[in-house]
Amino acid sequence: MAQKTKLKIKKGDLVQVITGAKQERGGDRGKQGKVLKVFPETNRVLVEGINRITKHTKVGQSQRGTKTGGIEVVEAPVHISNVAVVDPETKKPTRVGYRTETVERDGRERVVRIRVAKSSGKDL
């Protein structure tokens, strides 16, 4: 079984594809999209509008009698090393760092880790 590591990309992040074929050659490099789902066990992320594949599903019938199946276009997961989080200020890919802060909640002090963009220092 693969070792589970702490991932720096979360659901809802805006990410950009940084590897692969260029867009003029039919690839996804440079495209940006929102993370729909994270698969930590395989180190992959599902990104909206990225790595779209055609999937052939078997034709059948549902309870109401409507036909299901055929050819549909769906997103496939991308490895986490092929995407980078987009900096909210410059709209360019950046690395993720952490800043610790002590926050007082319910009368207790807690140490909170906040994700920040390395290039601009803004919170993610």
72-98: b or e for each residue (b if 16 or more CB lie within 10 Å)?
A: eeebebbebebbbbbbeeeeebbebee
pLDDT digits (tens, 9 = 90+) for 11-58: 999 999 999 889 899 888 999 999 999 999 899 999 999 989 999 988
Alpha-carbon distances of 83 from 26, 59, 116, rounded to whole Å? 17, 35, 17
Query: What's the rounded Cα separation, in Å, for the pair 50 and 75?
Result: 6
**Centroid of chain to Cα 5:** 16
pLDDT of residue 46: 94
Give pTM, 2 decimals. 0.78
Domains and CATH numbers, the chain: 1-85 (2.30.30.30), 88-123 (no CATH)
pLDDT digits (tens, 9 = 90+) for 3-21: 667 888 999 999 999 998 8
